Amino acid sequence: MKEIRESAEEIVDSFKEVTKDLPKEEETYYGQDTLNVMRQDQSPSPKEEREEFERGFKKIMPESDEDGNLKVEVGEWTE
């Protein structure tokens, strides 16, 4: 296990070294409260179908916050 970890760290370090001179890019993300669930005929999917999908997704998602939003974790190696 120690060898695997050291090998992984070497790979990450070499990747960081190769990419250090790449230009930095600013990104903007926007939150939306609208659904983008479209069928091939461009009609919205039925409300019941979307609600069933949401229930199924919430059953298998790892964690959620107090508002029911999916919680994700940022990797330790990110800055």
Per-residue pLDDT reduced to its tens digit, 27-70:
777 776 666 556 667 777 789 988 998 888 888 887 878 887 88
Contacts 24+ apart (CB under 8 A), 54-58: none
Residue 13 has pLDDT above 60, yes or no: yes
Binning pLDDT at 50, 70 and 90, where does residue 11 land? very high
Q: Could you give the CA distance from residue 76 to residue 26 in angstroms, rounded to a whole number?
A: 20
Q: What is the pTM of this model?
A: 0.35
Binning pLDDT at 50, 70 and 90, where does residue 10 land? very high
Please, what's the b/e burial string for 34-66 (b: 16 or more CB within 10 A of its CB; e: otherwise)? Answer: eeeeeeeeeeeeeeeeeeeeeeeeeeeeeeeee
The angle subtended at Cα 71 by Cα 68 and Cα 74, nearest 5°, is 165
Residue 44's pLDDT is what?
76
